Structure 1
Amino acid sequence: MTRLTRRSALALAAGSLATGAFAAGTFAAGRATAAEPLHRCEALIDSIGVNVHLGHRGSPYVERFAACIEALDDLGVRHLRDDIVLTGDEPAGQFERIADLAGRGYRFSLIFYDGLTPGPRVAPERFAEIAGWAGAGLVVAEGGNEPPVATRPGLAGQSAAHQAALFRAVRADARAGTVRVAGPSYIQGNVAAAQNLAAVIDFANIHAYPGAEPPETDGAGSLARFMAASRPVFGDAPVLATENGYHTALATGGAHLPISAGLRARYLPRMLLWSYLQGVRRTYLYELIASFDRGDADPESHFGLLAHDGRPTPAFRAVRSLVRLFGANAGTVAAVAADRDVTLSAAVPDLVFARFARQDGATLIPIWLGLDGWDRRNRIPLPDAPARPAEIRLSRQPRQVRLHRFDDDGSVTVANLPADRRVPVQVTDRLGVIELT
């Protein structure tokens, strides 16, 4: 999360001005007639997190902490990521706020800085002390944030030594059964310079920003490429994307390109579903509230799901709607209708869909076209692509079929569809979720 390094290399050639950066027909088309595997809605919700900065004095996280709690409760996301900022007066300040949120059921990934970036080093030997301050909130102890190990000889070794010490400290603690260790979040050229850390991590760690590309891109911002690049460092460990998202600083001159607020609301629900379906254990969106208010040319002022003044953006509303739809109300839990198979009657280019079981017995089918919606040269949305017809086939008759369509303003419209075993639907690049009861 260091401002000097965190995204400087994430320009990606993802900032490439070419549109249509990924190949068509690479999604459901290859397995159109096979029954979709069953995913659990609660697993998707557990895979969603968001970054916060509870130790950054002067930030809205500190100055308006109570409002941030209200926003988190409204959002429905229970996993948070923060960087440890030791001031000498602990557990006052940051850790009071962390413990407060932990008491409300929030769980944290905390960054143990390695001293290679501007964040002051956090000695791994202080793990037990820090975990105690965090109450029951600490579930992931994370290595250095974006260590620049390719910039100077010896830095890769320093990063590896810090990671090994953190792993030993966690394993030696009584909390070893509940706290997992994530590796450092190496980015871009630093990944290739890093040492193999597979023996001292539980989770691989990537920052998978796609730039201005869509979540499903197979271009330079491809999630699959980020995951593959991490394998020589982390082996086959499950992956955390501890930062991901889009910014809306349309006047930026930087290489990390922006998208519009409406398109971000379109992309983020797709990103969270896509990341889950690609095997990412958890994706922490960057960030809850914009840390700064430095104008339309500053990306760091435009990553927040909340604007700097606390106003919800369309993206906030879209993520909140996704979490609410895939959640189940207390008292409604019933047996999952796992015998309801879902297939696609014919291949549809660019189509992504999946089958989820919700705790109340409903089946949810997220379905969308993984299309690029942004003109990167002119920094405006592309014209809407025509809807493509698809037909979902069910193994048994539903009582009710409803289509939830996510819109660019963050709202969701709901329409009834025929309650038949063959469900026709017009698919667009705006997420649709078919709800079967």
Structure 2
Amino acid sequence: MQASSADAFVDSMGVVTHMTYDNTPYYTNWPKVLTYLQNLGIRHVRDGYFNPNWGAPLTTRHQQLAQSGIRTNYVVPYDPAITSQSIQKLASVNKDMELLEAPNECDVAGNCGASVTTSMANMIAFTPVVRSAGTALNIPVLGPSFAAYETYGTVGNISSLMTHNNLHIYFGGRNPGSAGWGGLDAQGNAYGSIPFWLDQANLDAPGLPSLVSETGYLSFPGNPTPYTIPTDVEESYIPRTYALSFLNGVHRTYVYELLEEVNSPGYGLIDGNMNPRPAYYAIQNLIANLSDPGPSFTPGTLPYAITGGDANVRKLLLQKHDGSFWLLLWSEQSSYDPVNCLYLPVTPQQVTLSLGGTYYTPNIGTFDTTGHLNWSSTRTTNQTVPLTISDQITIVKILPL
């Protein structure tokens, strides 16, 4: 089986921030926010464009991100006063610009104009400014995101405005590998599933790669409401969202968002009291164990097979520069009913990992509901390893004998 680069998977992870929101801790408690970002290990954030003439503290804070190895995708709002030159100036000042993004969800009235018709016309007329800046800076440009899936099929081919298509995928409290819950598209994928949204992206920009600039879950601990989930369920679903997006060829996925704040209550890897939720720790531990920076390399193949279990078993094979393989396994089951606000039993999957060639498994790590990764030693060089797979990701480290 062909492996992917472990570090490419880590590099596909991003998180949304709102540094310009001056009524939130992003602005009022920036030192702690920066520390949380640094400790998380994430390398990519999605934030809003601002006038480069505003200067400090925003420019200083973005410079701190750059110094920490964190780069920013800037969402450029519809504003005729913004020019390609002003975007380029912001890039030169902030030092962290790696992506530009067309205006956000202009198929919603009020976002880019008073009516949907005006809003969409404004977006089409303005996005070439963003594209021009991206070309001048030699950085990719994300196309416009849309709130309604129908927009992708009605806006026409606008691939000339972007280098990557742009998707907002929310699961309404369902597991990220859901097969969908609505009608089928022309390819037979049901509304709400990741493949369904990728099909829509292929309508307005055929053949271009896609990024998911927003995805995530509403979570209100101790106060469940329909289509929200508890934090321990979020802990399982968020890492799987990253993994499933990567398996589906999505170049980067940004989880919405880092902090729960007044403008987006219920979202956040960190709660309103500035305490990390379990999903924060899950991402942190996933990155810490799989991060493998270094020069580009071509991952190899591993002779292995997984037997047993059912169609819910998912696997992602990764490799590091040192030749070690890291196999992620989980059962893509729903562990929560978001309509009736009830936990659902997860059926463990009894599977067997069989390694060909001269390989063995020295360590196995499994996430728990707090987001911690618990490692155990197999203490064997056996090439056949029985495993119990749940909805929590299990990481199997594989080395040559």
Q: Does 409-418 or 68-77 show the bigger shift?
A: 409-418
Distance 1:369 1:252 in 2: 24
Given the alignment of the two structures, is residue 224 of structure 1 paired with residue 224 of structure 2, yes or no? Answer: no
Given the alignment of the two structures, is residue 247 of structure 1 paired with residue 218 of structure 2, yes or no? Answer: yes
Distance 2:282 2:118 in 1: 44
Q: SS at the partner of 1:130?
A: helix
Deviation string for 1:341-360 (max 9, x for gaps)?
Answer: 22223563211012110233
In the other structure, the counterpart of 2:236 is: 266
Q: SS at the partner of 1:305?
A: coil
Distance 1:387 1:224 in 2: 26
Q: SS at the partner of 1:145?
A: coil
Deviation string for 1:382-423 (max 9, x for gaps)?
Answer: 12x231211122122335432211111112222233432222
Distance 1:315 1:425 in 2: 24
Do 1:49 and 1:285's aligned partners in 2 also have CA atoms closer than 8 Å? yes
Distance 1:149 1:195 in 2: 17
Structure 1 residues 100 and 224, CA gap change in structure 2 (3 angstroms): same
| CA positional deviation for 1:225 | 0.9
Given the alignment of the two structures, is residue 157 of structure 1 paired with residue 117 of structure 2, yes or no? Answer: no
Given the alignment of the two structures, is residue 181 of structure 1 paired with residue 141 of structure 2, yes or no? Answer: yes
Structure 1 residues 155 and 319, CA gap change in structure 2 (3 angstroms): same
In the other structure, the counterpart of 1:238 is: 209
- Letter matched to residue 358 of structure 1: K
Distance 2:229 2:258 in 1: 18
In the other structure, the counterpart of 1:356 is: 318
Do 2:146 and 2:152's aligned partners in 1 also have CA atoms closer than 8 Å? yes
In the other structure, the counterpart of 1:126 is: 86
Structure 1 residues 121 and 386, CA gap change in structure 2 (3 angstroms): farther
In the other structure, the counterpart of 1:143 is: 102
* Matching residue within 49, 55, 60 for 2:14: 49
Do 1:76 and 1:320's aligned partners in 2 also have CA atoms closer than 8 Å? yes
Structure 1 residues 403 and 187, CA gap change in structure 2 (3 angstroms): same
Q: SS at the partner of 2:251?
A: strand
What TM-score, normalized by structure 1, do the two folds share? 0.81
* Matching residue within 398, 401, 423 for 2:359: 398
What TM-score, normalized by structure 2, do the two folds share? 0.88
Structure 1 residues 337 and 37, CA gap change in structure 2 (3 angstroms): closer
Aligned length: 380
Deviation string for 1:252-275 (max 9, x for gaps)?
Answer: 76x7x2111000001111111111
| CA positional deviation for 1:139 | 0.9
Distance 1:370 1:131 in 2: 40
Distance 2:311 2:381 in 1: 25
Q: SS at the partner of 1:366?
A: strand
Deviation string for 1:131-156 (max 9, x for gaps)?
Answer: 12222x11101001111268533433
Distance 1:157 1:69 in 2: 38
Distance 2:100 2:146 in 1: 16
Distance 1:121 1:60 in 2: 29
Given the alignment of the two structures, is residue 416 of structure 1 paired with residue 380 of structure 2, yes or no? Answer: no
Given the alignment of the two structures, is residue 326 of structure 1 paired with residue 290 of structure 2, yes or no? Answer: yes
Distance 2:81 2:143 in 1: 15
In the other structure, the counterpart of 1:382 is: 344
Do 2:175 and 2:334's aligned partners in 1 also have CA atoms closer than 8 Å? yes
In the other structure, the counterpart of 2:185 is: none
- Letter matched to residue 184 of structure 1: P
Distance 2:32 2:67 in 1: 17
Structure 1 residues 397 and 197, CA gap change in structure 2 (3 angstroms): same
Structure 1 residues 159 and 337, CA gap change in structure 2 (3 angstroms): closer
Q: Pick 1 or 2: higher relative contact order, CA cutoff 8 A, min separation 6.
A: 1
Given the alignment of the two structures, is residue 371 of structure 1 paired with residue 333 of structure 2, yes or no? Answer: yes
Do 2:224 and 2:230's aligned partners in 1 also have CA atoms closer than 8 Å? no
In the other structure, the counterpart of 1:428 is: 390
- Letter matched to residue 288 of structure 1: L
Counterparts in 2 of 1:288-327, with a 5 A limit? 288-292=258-262, 300-327=264-291
Distance 1:152 1:328 in 2: 45
- Letter matched to residue 72 of structure 2: F
Distance 2:367 2:290 in 1: 13
Deviation string for 1:147-195 (max 9, x for gaps)?
Answer: 1268533433321121122212332x2x22xx11111111224334434
In the other structure, the counterpart of 1:284 is: 254
In the other structure, the counterpart of 1:213 is: 174
Do 1:84 and 1:122's aligned partners in 2 also have CA atoms closer than 8 Å? no
In the other structure, the counterpart of 2:29 is: 64
In the other structure, the counterpart of 2:134 is: 170
Distance 2:275 2:350 in 1: 37
- Letter matched to residue 59 of structure 2: F
Distance 1:414 1:279 in 2: 29
Distance 1:289 1:149 in 2: 24
| CA positional deviation for 1:311 | 0.7
Deviation string for 1:204-238 (max 9, x for gaps)?
Answer: 10011111110111113211111111211122211
In the other structure, the counterpart of 1:37 is: 2
Distance 2:313 2:60 in 1: 46
- Letter matched to residue 414 of structure 1: W
In the other structure, the counterpart of 2:186 is: none
Structure 1 residues 370 and 121, CA gap change in structure 2 (3 angstroms): farther
Q: SS at the partner of 1:98?
A: helix
- Letter matched to residue 111 of structure 1: V
| CA positional deviation for 1:76 | 0.5
Given the alignment of the two structures, is residue 201 of structure 1 paired with residue 162 of structure 2, yes or no? Answer: yes
